[in-house]
Structures are given as C-alpha cells and as structure tokens.
Amino acid sequence: MSSPLILALDIGTTSTRALLFDAEGRALPDCIAQVANHLQTTADGGATFDANQLLQSVVAVIDQCLVMAGSRAAQIAAVASDTFVSNVMGVSTAGEPVTPVFTYADTRNAPDTETLRAELDEEARAASHDRTGCLLHTSYLPARFRWLERTHPDWLRGGVYWLSFGEYLYWKLLGQRLASYSVASWTGLLDRHTLTWDETWLARLPVGQEQLSPLGDVDTPLQGLLPPWAERWPALKDVPWLPAIGDGAAANIGSGCDTPQRIALTVGTTGAMRVVLPPAISAVPAGLWLYRVTRDRGLLGGATTEGGNLYAWLRETLQLPP
C-alpha cells in the first residue's frame, strides 16, 4: 500500500505555497510550488489584499503542486493549511467579496483603537485581555469594525458575513464556512474560556454573532469539493480539508517547539516569540497575547511588525555574511 501524503497550503503575507509531505512529515523536494502575494498599501496606513487575487494564487499553487506530484497525487489523504491571521473581509450572501481583505498591518483604525481604550476603564481592559487573550490593538477586529462603522458604513451594510481569508477560501472551494479556534483566537473576539464568540465585545460592535463563522477545531474537517473544483482536482475532491490554523501556530509546530520547554523565535515580515502551553492559565501576562493552536493547546507570546527590518539591521550592524 502506498504511503499517504498530505497537501499543505501556506498562505502568508509575502507568498502562497503548496507542498506535499510524506507520512514522516518530510517535504517532497520536487513538489513545492510558490507564488508571490502583493499587499496593497496606501500612505494613510492601509494594507489590504484583493480576495479573488489571493484565491487565484492558491488555485495556481495547487495546480502546480498536483502537476509536480503526477501519479503520486492519488496518495493525498488530506489537505492542511495555515494562513496569515488577524485579517477580515466582508462577503455577500452569494459569497462574493464586498470589501478588500483588511490585514493585521492596516493601521487606519489607530484612532478607533484609542477611542476604545478611552471607552473602557482599566478594569474593563484587563477583563477583555483575560477573556480574549488579546490587547486593544489595530490588528484586531474590535478596532477594525469600529473603523468600518466610522469611515465605510456602506461596506459594513454590504457585508452579510465577516470572515478571514482562510474561511473565504474554504467557502469558495467547499461551500462551507468554518473558523478554527486557532484563527478565531487572533481576532480579539474569541472568548478563550468558553471557545465561543465574545458576547461582551459583540454587544459593543456593529456586527452580530450570526455574521461570524461557526467555530471548530482541526479535528472537524470539511469534505467534498464543489463541482468546478472537484473536476479540476479529482485527487482532492473527497479528501478531508482541515480548517486553517494561524501561521504563527504552524511555525511553532513545524519547528518542533510544541511544548512549554521550547520557545520559537520567528523573524520574518513580522517578528515573534511564542511558546505552546496548556491554554487554561489563570491570567495572561501583561503585554502578551494568548492564542490557540487547537482547543487543547495555547500559544503565548509577543510580536513586532518589524521582523524583516530587524534582521536587515542586525546583518548590517554586525556585518554578518549573507
């Protein structure tokens, strides 16, 4: 019997990749496809993607990877994915984007972050940090929805559903909406104690729980590609598609830092230090966040948006070889 393979999709800020892994977790070196992503930035702090351009990038790398795999494509047993997180987009009832994909790097909501900070006293801010594991910050959805309400109420009215790009991708391919606990934990709207959308925040925001995706874990895969995609990728039409997890969570797991004894340091477009631990800690340390890898594994750490610049500065200052 042939050894099963896993098709992995890595949807990041700078590129989208498709890779095949064997049963031992080793990447097949001749089955790696990659295309660059193009973040659209504006002088006022905007940082967005066109959802359908990103969708086409994912389609392109899957196409390429399956061609590279040849007859081995029949051995694919599942599809797993990770995506850049703290992003959101509005989608119509028909599943069509009505907004760009607003990324974590979009800072146009900085005034709204300050407004929320002023609205909440110190006790309420601490309670929010404890419930969601997230601080008040431009990257999270509370300030994003307040910004939309203030500056683009037409977009807010047009968005029947609000979801991350990974959720949109699965909706387009499989016809179902599902947010993993991992991706949801990066929104600032997931109650970490109950693993439900946070009612306290939703009461303050112009978005209802019915507009957000149902929640699930990686052990609740989706299955059954929609007809156009089933015809395009017959090897994938009936295999389980595991809900996407956050790229930061995947970085820890992939580097072997999946226990409290190991801390992962990532220096890329962003920089971060993260440790995987049991999620039921009594309090999130001040200044840090607590996300989820899965239902039973938390991800504690801190991040900076200047990872690449730090790396360049270290190379220049320390005169390190390329």
- Looking up tokens 């984007």, which residue turns up? 97
Q: Count Cβ atoms within 10 A of the Cβ of residue 238 and give its class: 0-12 exposed, 13-18 middle, 19 or more buried.
A: exposed
**153 sits in which H/E element:** helix 153-158
190-206: average pLDDT: 98
pLDDT at 321: 84
Confidence of residue 53 (pLDDT cuts 50, 70, 90): very high
**Across 59-87, average pLDDT:** 98
DSSP E strand boundaries for 64-204: 76-83, 89-91, 101-102, 161-163, 179-180, 190-191, 196-197
pLDDT confidence of residue 310 = 75
Specify the pairing of strand 179-180 against strand 215-216: parallel
Confirm if 134 and 140 have CB atoms less than 8 A apart: yes
Q: What is the mean pLDDT of the chain?
A: 95
Look at residue 79 and tell me whether its pLDDT is greater than 90. Answer: yes
In this prediction, residue 281 has a pLDDT band, given cuts at 50, 70 and 90, of very high
- Regarding pTM above 0.75, the answer is yes
**What pLDDT is stored for residue 12 in this prediction?**
94
The predicted structure's pLDDT at residue 1: 53
Which of 60-64, 78-82, 217-221, 306-310 has the lowest average pLDDT? Answer: 306-310
Residue ranges per structural domain of the chain: 5-317
Mean pLDDT to the nearest integer, 301-318: 81
Q: 8-22, pLDDT tens digit by residue?
A: 999 999 999 999 999
Residue 176 has pLDDT above 90, yes or no: yes
| pLDDT higher than 80, residue 306 | no
CATH fold for the domain made of 5-317? Nucleotidyltransferase; domain 5 (3.30.420)
- The tens digit of pLDDT for each residue in 225-260 reads 999 999 999 999 999 999 999 999 999 999 999 999
The pLDDT, as a whole number, for residue 238 is 96
| Residue 207 near residue 145 (C-beta atoms within 8 A) | yes
The pLDDT value given to residue 271: 80
Categorize the per-residue pLDDT at 309 as very low, low, confident or very high, splitting at 50, 70 and 90: confident
d(CA 84, CA 186): 10
